[in-house]
Structure 1
C-alpha cells in the first residue's frame, strides 16, 4: 500500500497538472483512440501466443485467449503480475500439465517477456540514441542504493537456498524441470517462434497503443520517442509492487513523456487516456470473463 500512498501524495501536490490533463481529454480524436483499443486487443493474442510457445503440449486456443483476457483483470488485484500468473498457472494445471511443468512454463514466459521488452528498448535506444535520458526516470544518486539493495536481495536469496536443504532441493528440482522444458520448447521451431515472437509483439503493441493515444491528443513527440518513453517507464517500474502498476506506471509514463519533449499537461492527458483504454475499459468485462471461466472450471 505504501507506493499507492506516495502516488496519492504526489497527485495531490500536482493536482493542477492533473486537472489540465483531464481538460485535454476532450480534444482527443476518436479514430486514433479506436486504433489504440484495437492494438490493446491484439496484446491478448500476443500473450496467448507466448503462453503457448512456453509449453510443448497443445493448449485449447479459445480458452487460452479467454484466459489472457481474464488474467488482465486478475492482474489488478495482486501486485507485480501475480494475478495473471496465478490465473495462467491454474489454467495450465486444469489442462493436464503437472504443477512443476506449469511453473516452469510460467517462468519461461516471464523470462521471455522481460527479455523481449528490454531487447526492444535496447534496439530503439540504439536507433534513437537521444530519445531519452535514463536520469530523467532514475536520478543518478539512486543508482548506488539501487544496486546495493539488489545485491543484498540476491545474497540473501542465495544464502537461504544454500543453507536450507529442503529449499535447495526444491530449487534444484525446479531448475532441472525448467531447463528441460526450455530445451524441449526450443527444439520445436513453431513453439520457439510463438514464444519469442509473442514476447516481442506484446510490448511492441503496448507501445503502439500509447503512440496512437499520443497522436489522438496531438502530443508533440515523435512516435519512436513515445515508444522509447513507454518501454523505459515500464522497465523502470517493474519492481514497484503495486497492483497492475497502478499509480507507479502513470507517474513514470508522465515523467518519461516529458523527458522526451512533451508538455506536462498533454503528457498527463495521454497517460490518463492510455490507462483508460488499456486498463479501465477492459477491467469489468475481464472480471466477468474471469468469473465465468471459474464457474466453467476452465481455471
Structure 2
C-alpha cells in the first residue's frame, strides 16, 4: 500500500504542472513572448537571483533547528518545495515538503512543526521589515489609494479582527484544542530559545529571512531593467514587497493570478506605465515560477521515490 502511494506521489506533481499550465496557457504564452523583447544580460541576472533564493531558503530552514541538516539535500528540497508551493494553496505545499523532510531527518513531529512556525515567522518578519524600511526611506512613493479601493481598509481590519476573536473563542471553548495549542506553544518557545542561544543558528535564521525576499525583489528589478520599465529601483522594490505581503493573505496556489494582478497594480502605483508593468510582471513570473516548475515537480517525485521526503 505504501509503495503504491509513493508511486502515485511520484507521478502526481508533473500531472498537476500540466493542469496548471493548461489553465494559465494564455499567461504563459504572453509571458514567453515578452522574453524575446527583453535584454538578455538582465534576464540572465534575474535567473541567477532566482536560483540563489533556494540556498537562502535552505539557510533559513537550517537556522530554525539546532540539529545540522544534510546541506545538499536541504537545498534540493527547497527547489522541490517551491514547485509544491505553486501547486497547492500558498505556503501549504512547501510546508508539507519541509515537514516531511525534517521528520525523515529524525526530528519529531512536534519539533518539526515548531521549526516550521519559526521559519514562517522569520520569513514574514524579514519581508515586513524590508517593506517598512523602504516605506521610511521613500515616503509617498507608493500610493496606497490605488492598491486598495475606497473604504476597503476598514472591512479588512474588521475581518482580520473577527477571525482572531473566533480563533481565540474556539481555543477557549474546546479543551482538547486548548491543550494541543498550549503544548505546541511551549515546544515552539523552547525551540526558539534553543536556536537563539546559538549565534550561528540565529544568524542563519534571520540573515536568510532577509536575504530571501531581497533576492526575489532583485529578480523583479532586473526583469524591469531588461524591459526598460522607467521606475526607480527603490520604488520597484517597494512595489514588490507591498504586493507580496498583501497577496500572502490570498489562499491561491502559489499566488497564481493574485500575484500577477497585485504586482501590476503595485508597479502602476509607483509610477510605471501599465503596458510595460504588465510585461514585466508576466516575464518575472515566467522566470521565477514557470521555468522552474516542471524541473521542481520532477525533483519532488525523485525525492519521494528515494524516500528523502
Q: TM-score, normalised by structure 2?
A: 0.89
Q: Distance in 2 between matches of 1:174 and 1:99?
A: 10
1:174 maps onto 2:157 in alignment: no
Aligned to 1:284: 294
- Please list the CA deviations of residues 16-50 of structure 1 after superposition, one character each: whole Å capped at 9, or x if unmatched: xx999876543200110000000001100110000
Displacement, 1:63? 0.5
Aligned to 1:228: 238
Q: Distance in 2 between matches of 1:188 and 1:23?
A: 49
Q: 1:95 aligns with which of 101, 105, 111?
A: 105
Q: Distance in 2 between matches of 1:119 and 1:228?
A: 11
* 2:30 and 2:282 in contact (8 A); partners too: no
1:211 maps onto 2:194 in alignment: no
Distance 1:110 1:20, change over 3 A: closer
Q: 2:200 aligns with which of 177, 184, 190?
A: 190
Q: Distance in 2 between matches of 1:27 and 1:95?
A: 46
Runs of 4+ with >3 A deviation: 18-26
* 1:80 and 1:245 in contact (8 A); partners too: yes
Distance 1:275 1:196, change over 3 A: same
1:61 maps onto 2:80 in alignment: no
Q: Which consecutive residues of structure 1, in runs of 5 or more, have no partner in the other structure?
A: 1-10
Aligned to 1:105: 115
Q: 1:260 aligns with which of 241, 263, 270?
A: 270
Aligned to 1:237: 247
Q: Distance in 2 between matches of 1:138 and 1:92?
A: 39
Aligned to 1:8: none
| SS of aligned partner of 1:75 | helix
Q: Distance in 1 between matches of 2:130 and 2:195?
A: 22
Displacement, 1:255? 0.4
Count of matched residue pairs: 285
* 1:36 and 1:213 in contact (8 A); partners too: yes
Root-mean-square deviation (CA, aligned residues, Å) is 1.8
1:29 maps onto 2:29 in alignment: no
Q: Which consecutive residues of structure 2, in runs of 5 or more, have no partner in the other structure?
A: 1-23
